Structure 1
Amino acid sequence: MDKSELKFSKEHEWVEVKTNKARVGITDHAQQALGDVVFVDLPAIGDKLESGKAFGVVESVKAVSDLYAPVSGTITAINEALLDSPEVLNQDAYGKGWIIEIDLTDPSELNDLMNEVAYKKFLLEE
């Protein structure tokens, strides 16, 4: 995946947008900070998300961390592979480690997210 096409949140989620759908995952930085992921609590298909609100949990050997919706919408798919193999988040955060797909309700919210260059700068300042 070309990360230059992604949008990033300050909570370390990434968004890949295709038309009015968005695929969401956690960044490589987030998975490294968490350490070995051992459990992922996923929402249900059809759940409505509000930008900035928690929608799930990632548990690692070091910590439990909430997942935050970078944009608002309705969940159309979840990555069920993570239920049996949560370590995929560590192995392929930007590919097979995607978490949910949503139909966007307000595409203008994407303007509030960072591009790759701004996200890297944000990480340096954090």
Structure 2
Amino acid sequence: MSEIPGDLKFLKSHEWARIEDGGQITVGISEHAQSLLGDLVYVELPAVGDTVTVGAAAAVVESVKAASDVYSPVTGTVTAVNEALSDKPETINEDAYGEGWMFTVRIDDAEQLNELLSPDEYAALIEEESH
């Protein structure tokens, strides 16, 4: 298993959230999630200006194995999407915590971040799931 960056928060459904300068939240799926999915062949992202809701499907990733919803870790307005994923969805496989980011959100309520898992809690969740 790869290193889990210490600056991220996680949903139990394997999405990550990174708090950026200015209060924006960058969202993606974890290294663990992309490894379970296998080679990604398609990504459907929300549109800039869309409202996303914590725990609700905001995007879709499709692999050679299956299609999976990507849930938003926070409620807010989408401010940017990673357009490069349209042409190269495998970027998520290659760099899930970096260039494979999916979208950014202007969060409505920063308190929601307290409900997310810390990197250590997420590592424990993955460990538990693998047994």
Equivalents in 2 of 1:41, 1:67: separation in Å?
Answer: 9
Normalization by structure 1: what TM-score? 0.97
What is the aligned partner in structure 1 of residue 48 from structure 2? 45
| Correspondence for 1:101 among 80, 101, 104 | 104
Amino acid at match of 2:118: N
Equivalents in 2 of 1:34, 1:108: separation in Å?
Answer: 31
Q: Does 2:17 match 1:15?
A: yes
Equivalents in 1 of 2:5, 2:127: separation in Å?
Answer: 18
Amino acid at match of 1:103: R
Equivalents in 1 of 2:79, 2:51: separation in Å?
Answer: 10
Give the percent of matched residue pairs that are identical in Structure 1 and Structure 2. 50
Deviations 1:24-59 (A, max 9, x none): 000000000000000000110000011000011100
How large is the Cα RMSD of the aligned pairs?
1.3
Question: After superposition, where does 1:31-42 map in structure 2 within 5 Å?
Answer: 31-42=34-45
What is the aligned partner in structure 1 of residue 70 from structure 2? 67
Where does the alignment leave 5 or more consecutive residues of structure 1 unmatched? none
Q: Which runs of 4+ in 1 moved over 4 A?
A: none
What's the secondary structure of 1:70's corresponding residue?
coil
Equivalents in 1 of 2:53, 2:86: separation in Å?
Answer: 23
Equivalents in 2 of 1:28, 1:56: separation in Å?
Answer: 17
What's the secondary structure of 1:33's corresponding residue?
helix
Normalization by structure 2: what TM-score? 0.93
What's the secondary structure of 1:89's corresponding residue?
helix
Where does the alignment leave 5 or more consecutive residues of structure 2 unmatched? none
Equivalents in 1 of 2:58, 2:9: separation in Å?
Answer: 18
